[in-house]
Amino acid sequence: MEKQPIEQLQKICTQLRRDVLRMVHAVQSGHPGAPLGCAEFFVALYFDQLHHNPDFQMDGKGEDLFFLSNGHLSAGWYSVLARSGYFPVEELKTFRKLNSRLQGHPATHEHLPGIRVASGSLGQGLSVAIGAAQAKKIDKDDSLVYVLMGDGELQEGQVWEAAMYGAHFGVDNLIATVDYNGQQIDGPTDKVMDLKNLKAKWEAFGWEVIETKDGNDLKAVLEGLEKAKSLTGKGKPILNLLYTEMGYGVDFMVGTHKWHGSPPNDEQLANALGQLEETLGDY
Amino acid sequence: MSLDLKFTYTEKKDTRSGFGDGFLEAGRKNPNVVGLCADLIGSLKMGAFQKEFPERFFQTGIAEANMIGLSAGLALGGKIPFAGTFANFATGRVYDQIRQSVAYSNKNVKICASHAGLTLGEDGATHQILEDLGMMKMLPHMTVINPCDYNQTKAATLAIAEYEGPVYLRFGRPSWPIFTPADQKFEIGKAWKMIDGKDVTIFATGHLVWEAVVAEAMLREEGISAEVINIHTIKPLDEEAILESVAKTGCAVTAEEHQINGGLGDSVAQTLIRHNPAPLEYVGVNDSFGESGAPTQLLEKYGLNAENIVKAAKRALERK
């Protein structure tokens, strides 16, 4: 895929936000907050960073892979997959509906292109990503594996099993990003279960840690991912702490956990869409 | 008393060694076969593979949840991962990881579970899982296999390497008679009628197939003709073989080293109740945990040996 100027990528971010809001509104269920906060990440990854093939192959040999461990961000992932050509944009209207390939949380059983493993039950994606990265190492395939986790998700013990393992085996073809928005369903992470110093934690586990301080600034996200890429192949797995704001892009949704798992009503949707220009055409 | 056994043995060996030897052979046949183990390489007999193929083997440490996720990732990259640990930690501890990353995602992962059942012995109930077959057979996409001796376990290990899809392979710790042939062909989902009979059918799986062979000889001495069918694959269940046998004998016994709830007996009962309701008696653990002891002592105390199969067969016959 040809690289696009940042102004164009910015437009895709806006459209992704519109897609997410319209999808969760249409079915009155789903999780709008976190995918709104990760729009820049999704777009930077799929439209700039990943060497990938929308003509989907499950084994992904010779291409970069992405895993969404925090599967409740499905609306954002489906939007970016559709907008980058994995399946028709029209299909976004089936999100969470009966007989859809776009399950509430990502699944493989209906063979939706772009999805390689189910996610939703938290804490499992890093392990899967490391396994896929090791398969690449066995095959001497020098492409990379990416995974996104939520910060609240780091409360799951399996994540730290995987963290220990990734460093032990020097899985240095892996870039794990944490959506560091400080929010989870029941409230701010520091109230629910304080994550304390995540940078120090990951470093203590033997990872190379970078911080992307403004995860809703597209330029910063791109620079962070470039930096992460430059650190691969040096014996350590990479952890990208991506500071985002949940609900970013809509003034009444930003910075709160209240829109983690709640859809907007008609009036709220109209208000939100009024703040987001339709750039690529709604589905 | 010397019994006239239809199957005999000259050697005893643990089924986990059958797995280890089969795993090594599968690795030699197919370079995509890889191994993982959660700090039980010696117990699982995976060391020979690790030594021969160090770049295809991953010691995960004591972290089974991670091991299952890693296996799913390796599988989607085209590898055939054999993930080994004790049956307890391979199922109950990681049920959700298996459910989402392996079964629902339909990944070609082989979950290799040793030290299953009471015959684990002295370690006691914390390690003697008796619910694993039930948990695994409930998962869509999952194939569930429980072979009976060293040779059958080795053959099963080779067979699952060739099969595409998630598999739960259950085996054990104790030294056990080797009474099936070394050159057997293992057909997943195909029951094996080992002994022909006409009065009662014994459906047995795992270590208790040997007890069923002994029970058949004991019943024969009393003039009762028992058919013995080796159900090495719990899922998919060979319903045709079950119905064909019970159509002839008219009653049956199931024998397994597992809870009666959720085990082979449940599966056979479901089949019979739908097609041919016939008297069925269960030999299995009856809603209790195990305890420490020698394997044969435990099988006796919990009612899982040949004598108990004989009693169950007589109960079934009386109900005909």
C-beta separation of B201 from B252 below 8 A = yes
What pLDDT was estimated at residue A3? 86
Cβ contact A131–B77 (<8 Å)? yes
Grouping H, G, I as helix, E, B as strand and the rest as coil, residue B280 is: strand
Span B188-203, pLDDT tens digits: 999 999 999 999 999 9
Q: Could you tell me which of B71, B107, B74 has the C-alpha nearest to residue A136?
A: B74
Please provide the DSSP assignment of B148-200 as one string. Answer: -SHHHHHHHHHHHHHS-S-EEEE--SSEEE--S-TTPPP-TT--EEEE--SSE
Each residue of A119-131: pLDDT tens digit? Answer: 999 999 999 999 9
Q: From the candidates B39, B57, B70, B164, which should be mutated to test the interface with A, based on the most A CB atoms within 10 A?
A: B70
Is the separation of the CB atoms in A128 and A117 below 8 Å? Answer: yes
Nearest chain A residue to B100 by CA distance is A118
Joined together, the tokens standing for residue B148 give 């009976």
Among the partner residues B58, B97, B104, nearest to A134 by beta-carbon distance: B58
B164 inside 8 A of chain A by CB: no
Of A116, A124, A165, the CB nearest to B97: A124
> What is the spatial distance between Cα A93 and Cα A23, in angstroms, rounded to a whole number?
6
Q: Is B143 helix (H, G, I), strand (E, B) or coil?
A: strand
Q: Please report the pLDDT score of residue A149 as a whole number.
A: 98
pLDDT of amino acid A109: 85
Q: Are A131 and B63 within 8 A, CB to CB?
A: no
**Minimum-distance CB partner of B61 among A109, A138, A165:** A165
pLDDT, one tens digit per residue, over B118-133 is 999 999 999 999 999 9
B77/A139 touch (CB, cutoff 8 Å), yes or no: yes
Q: Closest by alpha carbon to B238, among B182, B187, B164, B169?
A: B187
Nearest CB to A117; choose among B55, B81, B105: B105
A chain contacts of residue B81, beta-carbon cutoff 8 Å: 131
pLDDT one-digit tens code per residue, A211-227 = 999 999 999 999 999 99
Reported as a single tens digit per residue, the pLDDT across A145-182 is: 999 999 999 999 999 999 999 999 999 999 999 999 99
pLDDT digits (tens, 9 = 90+) for A63-96: 999 999 999 999 999 999 999 999 999 999 999 9
Query: Measured between beta carbons, which residues in chain A are less than 8 angstroms from residue B61?
Result: 161, 164-165, 168
Mark yes or no for CB contact B70/A120 under 8 Å: no
Q: What is the predicted pLDDT for the residue at B1?
A: 59
Q: Inspect the interface and report whether the beta carbons of A158 and B97 lie closer than 8 Å.
A: yes
Instruction: Determine whether the interchain pair B60/A165 forms a contact, defined as Cβ–Cβ distance below 8 Å.
Output: yes
Identify the three-state secondary structure at position B206. Answer: coil
Residue A106: pLDDT band (50, 70, 90) is very high
**Tokens at residue B192, please?**
């094996």
Q: Which residues of A touch B76 (CB under 8 A)?
A: 58-60, 116-117, 128, 131-132, 135
Q: Quick check: B77 and A59 CB within 8 A? A: yes
Mean pLDDT of chain B: 98
At B259, which helix (H) or strand (E)? strand B252-259
Name the percent of chain B lying above pLDDT 70. 100
Of A128, A135, A164, the CB nearest to B61: A164
Task: Assess B72–A contact: CB distance below 8 Å, yes or no.
Answer: yes
pLDDT at A110: 87
User: Residue B96: its chain A contacts at CB < 8 A?
Assistant: 121
Q: Do A128 and B60 touch (CB under 8 A)?
A: no
Give A-chain residues touching B164 at CB under 8 angstroms. none
**Chain A: residue nearest B72 by CA?**
A128
Contacts of B73 in chain A (CB under 8 A): 117, 127-135
What confidence score (pLDDT) does residue A1 get? Answer: 62
The tally of CA atoms less than 13 A away on the side-chain side of residue B193 is 15
In this complex, is the C-beta atom of B285 within 8 Å of any C-beta atom belonging to chain A?
no
Nearest to A129 among B65, B73, B104 (CB): B73
Residues of A at the B interface, defined by Cβ within 8 angstroms: 58-61, 107-109, 116-121, 123-136, 138-139, 157-158, 161-162, 164-165, 168-169
What value does the CA radius of gyration of chain A take, rounded to a whole number of Å? 17
Closest CA to B203 of B159, B138, B148: B148
Give the span between the Cα atoms of B265 and B310, in whole angstroms. Answer: 16
Mutate to test the interface with B, among A58, A103, A124, A146 (most CBs of B within 10 A): A124
Question: What are the tokens at B16?
Answer: 């986990």
Question: Which residues in chain B are contacts of A68 at CB distance < 8 A?
Answer: none
Nearest Cα to Cα of residue A79 among A11, A12, A145: A12
Residue in chain B nearest A168 by alpha carbon: B60
CB < 8 Å to B60, chain A: 161, 165
Neighboring chain A residues of B67 at a CB cutoff of 8 Å: 127
- Provide the 8-state DSSP code for B140: T
What are the start-end ranges of the H helices in B163-305?
208-221, 239-249, 264-275, 295-301
Give per-residue pLDDT as tens, A233-251.
999 999 999 999 999 999 9
The secondary structure of residue B240, as a DSSP letter, is H
The predicted structure's pLDDT at residue A16: 98
Q: How many contacts does A have with B, using Cβ atoms within 8 A?
A: 119
Which 8-state DSSP code applies to residue B103? I
The catalytic residue positions of B are 64
- Chain B residues closer than 8 Å to A126 by CB: 69
pLDDT 10s digits, A172-187: 999 999 999 999 999 9
- Taking the C-alpha atoms of residue A75 and residue A20, their distance in angstroms, rounded to an integer, is 5
Residue B236: is the preceding peptide bond cis (ω within 30°)? yes
Model confidence pLDDT, tens digit, residues B283-293: 999 999 999 99
Chain A touched by B100 (CB under 8 Å): yes
Q: How confident is the model at residue B142 (pLDDT cuts 50, 70, 90)?
A: very high
Q: Is the CB of B77 less than 8 angstroms away from the CB of A121? A: no
Cα nearest neighbour of B67 on chain A: A127
Are the Cβ atoms of B101 and A138 closer than 8 angstroms?
no
**What is the model's pLDDT at position A251?**
97
SS3 (DSSP) at B68: helix
Query: Mean per-residue pLDDT for A20-46?
Result: 97
Phi-psi bin for A96: left (phi > 0), alpha (psi -120 to 50), beta? left
Rounded CA separation B185/B162 (Å): 13
pLDDT band of residue B91 (cuts 50, 70, 90) is very high
A2 has a pLDDT exceeding 80 = no
Distance from CA of A249 to the nearest CA of B (A): 32
